[in-house]
Amino acid sequence: MNRGMSGRDWALLLFLSIIWGGSFFLIEIALRSAQPMTVVLIRVGFAAAGLWLFVWVRRQYVKLPRETIVAFLLLALLNNVLPFILFAYGQTQIASGLASILNATTPIWCVIVAHLFTDDERMTPAKIVGLLLGFAGVAVMIGAEFLREIGTEVAAQLACLAATLCHASATVFARRFQPMGVPPVMVATGQVTAASLILLPIVLIFEPPWVTAPLSFETWSALIVLAIICTALAYMLYFRLLASAGATNSLLVTFLVPITAILLGVVVLGETLAPRHFAGMALIAGGLAAIDGRLLRLARR
């Protein structure tokens, strides 16, 4: 959290926000004909296959220390299995807009977790203000209609909040792979592979495919894009960003996701921007500037 971010880090953050901007929409499509845990298994399973193919073609496989096996299992539980299931369940009860608001609390949780469990990512007043501004910007952009839903479907909303805490804890936990010498692509590959192995027996017990209806073409299309682009590619970039920018800075992507989702709607679908969208973007920009710290240091000089 006390690290600065380079131009390359900001470019990765922006690109990740574009990739993840459509993930809530894709999950909503997939859930029309698939069960929540089945969605997660297909997502991480296809992502694992794609990453292993990438590692094999690029010959980037490295011999991993034995202790990484347990670390991959824990990372998979915190970063994939638990949060993906919790968000998939939550989105069966609440709208994707409200889910994205709750998802934007992830950096706030990360500030707390990183402050408690690391020595080099301590919270500072300026960065706490920046995080709160970013969260307020997300809430303003999504709109008052979703804010009014807060307090209804409490179990689903608590599930989404628990998922964000898992993501924050996973981001801090994943820092341990860099001292082990594990490259980002292998962290991503090991994580989704472990998640697939954990989820397979769970899905066979609780959501056996032979007793559910076949998935539609629309669902399969959403799941493939979700797996290859929003999971495999995204995690390769994310763990590279984590190694260079730190845990809390990496999770700033959750503030940018609503911006890119709305701008994609404008560019691709011809939607129009409301005044609240500009106000929310301004709040998020102010929050990111406070967290980055460079403008504040320049003003002081």
pLDDT band at 40 (very low <50, low <70, confident <90, very high): confident
pLDDT band at 298 (very low <50, low <70, confident <90, very high): low
What is the identity of the amino acid at 134? G
Domain boundary assignment for the chain: 7-300
Answering whether pTM is above 0.85, one says no
Is the confidence at residue 2, as pLDDT, over 60? no
Of these ranges, 94-103, 129-138, 283-292, the one predicted with the greatest mean pLDDT is 129-138
Alpha helices by DSSP H, listed for 6-105, are 7-21, 23-30, 36-58, 68-76, 82-90, 96-103
CA distance 138 to 129: 14
**31-45, 77-91, 192-206, 276-290: range with lowest mean pLDDT:** 276-290
Which of 237, 228, 208 lies closest to 46 in space, CA to CA?
228
The strand ranges marked E within 223-280 are none
Asked whether 85 and 37 are in contact (CB, 8 A), the reply is: yes
CA–CA–CA angle 133, 136, 141 (5° rounding) = 125
**8-12, 101-105, 283-287, 290-294: range with lowest mean pLDDT:** 290-294
